[in-house]
Structure 1
Amino acid sequence: MKEEGDDEMVQERIEGANRLALERILNAQPTLIGIGTAGEVIPGMTKKTILHAGPPISWERMRGPLRGAVMGGLIYEGLAKDEKEAVELAASGEIVFAPCHHHDAVGPMAGVVTASMPVWIVRNMVQGNQAYCTFNEGLGKVLRYGAYGEEVIARLRWMEKVLAPVLKAALELSGPINLKNMIAQAIMMGDEGHNRNKGGTSLLIRELAPHIVAADFCNKEKIDVLQFMHGNDHFFLNLTMPACKASLEAAKGIPYSTIVYTMARNGTEFGIRVSGLGGRWFTAPAEVIDGLYFPGYSAADANPDIGDSAITETCGIGGFAMAAAPAIVQFVGGTPEDAMNYSKMMYEITEGENNAYKIPVLNFRGTATGIDIRKVVETGILPIINTGIAHKEPGVGQIGAGLVRPPMKCFEDALEAFVADLEEKGLL
């Protein structure tokens, strides 16, 4: 039976748990330690495992860009020779589909990871957990946006055979790279860590270039690698994502915590996971993105929100740090004033401020960090996410970029489940 004083005790437990969750996120030290092959380093991977972005989903419920990326992944792995064979195999039940998040990984947009793909290995040096992410292909017709043509597969093979080996050798010469420091510097340079990564990519090139030059590869391979990185401003995104994943996983499973440690989308559903509720997903239909479209495309062509890259916002950067990156509005829409207001608004739904990722224009205030489901529901303010837009049909690719918010139902359902758990324990 509930006794007098229980309400205060429960409140104290929640507040204490949320302080602990925030402390673990802020104390994390995500560090790039290596490069490996997905099938060899990601837990639970097999030749017929395909990881995808967002909460769990079956082939039947996948939409265009995720289907396209799966088809491309099967062709890339040599499990199918063309689109027809890939569709048949994907629908056969032989392929194991699983969220990247269930395997300590994250994937931008469609998020597809297959066994032969090279991945970054990022370790949280405080908690010891690791996170993994594929390499960024660039913009346009790329696998992560659902494109799977010959040029897409050829690029993936070059990344596996040339890009990854050269960078692996360079990283072995350089030693581990502190990504937390690098992200903090990038934010000072006008990045927000999700859709603007010019500073981060530049810092990474600066760090690795001398070691790429010193690596034991022919000059053409080294030049090609440097040119590829130089020509891809989004290259660093695939390091901010596992850095955020490694930081947030430290906050998983804290009893009584209402802090969100995962936000992710599979193109059909948006899903969140909450620290005190373990690995349970709370999902709702994904929203269509409000943004800027490439010539010839409109919202009628857009797939709903997709990708694991919202892990950046979950960790307090990305859309939460747009005030540090006013130039981002030229890519996702809005005005510099909008960017400022979005960042300020996020303080109303979070537990605290990041002591490393600071926004100069807000007098070096730390970014809002630690999304609290209670505050989201109470205020009606939803997290802001900036993101790319994929065409709704497989094989087309990116058609724009913009802003989106999660469905409120995810947070309402999570809060209801949290209250139900307290009631089951006799605390309410």
Structure 2
Amino acid sequence: MSTLHDLISTEPSVVTAGVELFDDALAAQAVATHRVEWRPPLDGTDEDLARVMGDERRAAANARAIERMLAASAELVDVRPAREVLGLQPGEFLHAGPPLSWYRASGPMRGALIGAMLFEGLADTPDDAEAKLAAGDGIALQPCHDRGGVGPMAGLVSPSMWMFELRDETHGQTSWCTLNEGLGKVLRYGAYAPEVIDRLRWMGEVLGPVLQTAVRQRGSIDIKGIISQMVQMGDEGHNRNRAGTLMFLRELMPDLIDSGAPSSRVSEVARFIGGNDHFFLNLVMPAGKLQSAAASGIAGSSVVTVMARNGTDFGIQVSGTGGQWFTGPANTPDGLFLGSFGPDDANPDIGDSTICETMGIGGFAMASAPAIVRFVGGTVPDALYTSQLMYEITLGENPAYAYPILEFRGAPTGIDVTRVVRTGILPQINTGMAGKVAGTGQVGAGLVKPPVECFTSALSALAAQSPLPS
């Protein structure tokens, strides 16, 4: 126990909360401080918070959710067309984010749908594709998440697109994602020029089949293991995947060479993967889906299992409420722009790639990837502070994704709805930005946060399901 003598004979250490002025003033006088990020609960949530936090099931349910998330594995087991993986038929399309209709779709989502129509041969021109999509005859749209998968940016999946198929052997679940097209003018950013369609056809004719042969020959590849290594090598898994891509290529190269494909095709595939730093993102994402899916459907749990956006809405799902979507208007990222593009060119947030933050990396892991600030904006101290702040809204730490700069502390994992509402701290996301006009493509990259109403509405739903106190 400290005595009065201890208090006056040792250097003071002050805990500060609230406005930054007090902390800054002490720091200017060389006084050691421990800043606590405290804010009052969000307005109008007291009753729901009390109901959910008083639920006797909650502690055990959340502990089980975190245990299942940390135990999830992720192995690449196959590469197949979507028509085989999901049974998609002509006119059926999957998209990123919560449910959406053509009439509510943003520019990049419409552009991606137009491109998918052209790619599938369901329309001859962009105008023809747009007219058919607007009419809706024979067209069906469904979120990727509702089929157990994920899609970057617009997230468009059509029957002929090839997909990575990953499996969590621990819990017996599978997930999937399309193959990454690269950067710039690509379908996932809403571009549909002839070169975009030509690249998709090459991916279907060359990239997919060659990868399929190599992966089947290999048997499986431990994607979670590669993610673990890349986080310690300067990648955060969302907007920086350079180390992950090269490690994946190293793992698969012998099997590519032994695949029996002509050497010219093997070199095409190796050159495409090696020249596309984001190729591995489309493997990180289904690994994240497997991790979060392992925690879904646990009664009483307030753990977030999905964060996703469709360019119009941002939506989340929570373990204790199953597949129910809680949505709010998608915010527009703030960051750095390519070429002559500026803020007026950017579409609101879009894509399922926020599964990275849901699993505890991406924007949560910027402390481990300080170089990312040169791509999305901010500073290195900002990156360190952000990662440390995310521990305030999560329930566990994932030792598989350890941050060297934080003494190998595990990634903050298991976003808790009640912690978000109690603190007012929203999950930090780093992301690419799509042009808001259909056909533009990527215009930049930046930082963004979800709308508050996703979490307050999820809290209300949890409260409605919580037993009344006895």
TM-score (norm. length: structure 1): 0.96
Deviation at 1:9, TM superposition (A): 9.7
Query: What CA distance in whole angstroms lies between the structure 1 residues aligned with 2:420 and 2:65?
Result: 17
Query: What CA distance in whole angstroms lies between the structure 1 residues aligned with 2:455 and 2:469?
Result: 21
Letter in 2 for 1:56: P
Query: What CA distance in whole angstroms lies between the structure 1 residues aligned with 2:364 and 2:469?
Result: 34
Match of 2:131 in 1: 88
Residue number among 368, 373, 377 corresponding to 1:333 in the alignment? 377
**Pairing of 1:135-214 with structure 2 (within 5 A):** 135-214=179-258
- Whether the aligned pair in 1 keeps the contact of 2:96 and 2:310 (CA below 8 Å) is yes
Query: What CA distance in whole angstroms lies between the structure 2 residues aligned with 1:15 and 1:408?
Result: 24
Match of 1:120 in 2: 164
Match of 2:12 in 1: none
Query: Are residue 426 (structure 1) and residue 450 (structure 2) matched?
Result: no
Residue number among 289, 294, 298 corresponding to 1:245 in the alignment? 289
Query: Are residue 275 (structure 1) and residue 319 (structure 2) matched?
Result: yes
Query: What CA distance in whole angstroms lies between the structure 1 residues aligned with 2:102 and 2:240?
Result: 32
Letter in 1 for 2:133: A
Structure 2 CA distance for partners of 1:210 and 1:278, relative to 1, 3 Å:
same
Match of 2:359 in 1: 315
* SS of aligned partner of 2:57: helix
Letter in 1 for 2:106: R
Deviation at 1:228, TM superposition (A): 0.3
Query: Are residue 223 (structure 1) and residue 273 (structure 2) matched?
Result: no
Query: Are residue 79 (structure 1) and residue 122 (structure 2) matched?
Result: yes
Query: What CA distance in whole angstroms lies between the structure 1 residues aligned with 2:83 and 2:194?
Result: 23
Match of 2:153 in 1: 109
Letter in 1 for 2:381: E
* SS of aligned partner of 2:439: coil
Query: What CA distance in whole angstroms lies between the structure 1 residues aligned with 2:341 and 2:304?
Result: 34
Query: What CA distance in whole angstroms lies between the structure 2 residues aligned with 1:199 and 1:376?
Result: 32
Query: What CA distance in whole angstroms lies between the structure 2 residues aligned with 1:8 and 1:387?
Result: 32
Match of 2:276 in 1: 232
Query: What CA distance in whole angstroms lies between the structure 2 residues aligned with 1:131 and 1:310?
Result: 15
- Whether the aligned pair in 1 keeps the contact of 2:51 and 2:463 (CA below 8 Å) is no
Query: What CA distance in whole angstroms lies between the structure 2 residues aligned with 1:59 and 1:68?
Result: 11
Letter in 2 for 1:128: G
Q: How many residues align?
A: 420
Q: Deviations over 1:322-349 (max 9, x none)?
A: 1110000010001111111110000000
Q: Deviations over 1:277-296 (max 9, x none)?
A: 11110000000100100121
* SS of aligned partner of 2:437: coil
Match of 1:3 in 2: none
Query: What CA distance in whole angstroms lies between the structure 2 residues aligned with 1:427 and 1:231?
Result: 59
Structure 2 CA distance for partners of 1:19 and 1:417, relative to 1, 3 Å:
same
Deviation at 1:353, TM superposition (A): 0.3
Query: What CA distance in whole angstroms lies between the structure 1 residues aligned with 2:231 and 2:134?
Result: 43
Letter in 1 for 2:199: R
* SS of aligned partner of 2:297: coil
Q: Deviations over 1:60-118 (max 9, x none)?
A: 00010000000000100001111011101111222100000011110000000000100
Query: What CA distance in whole angstroms lies between the structure 2 residues aligned with 1:278 and 1:103?
Result: 13
Aligned structure 1 segments of 4 or more residues deviating by more than 6 angstroms: 6-9
* SS of aligned partner of 1:251: coil
Q: Tell me how large the CA RMSD over aligned residues is.
A: 1.3
Q: Which runs of 5+ in 2 are unaligned?
A: 1-49
Query: What CA distance in whole angstroms lies between the structure 2 residues aligned with 1:347 and 1:225?
Result: 40
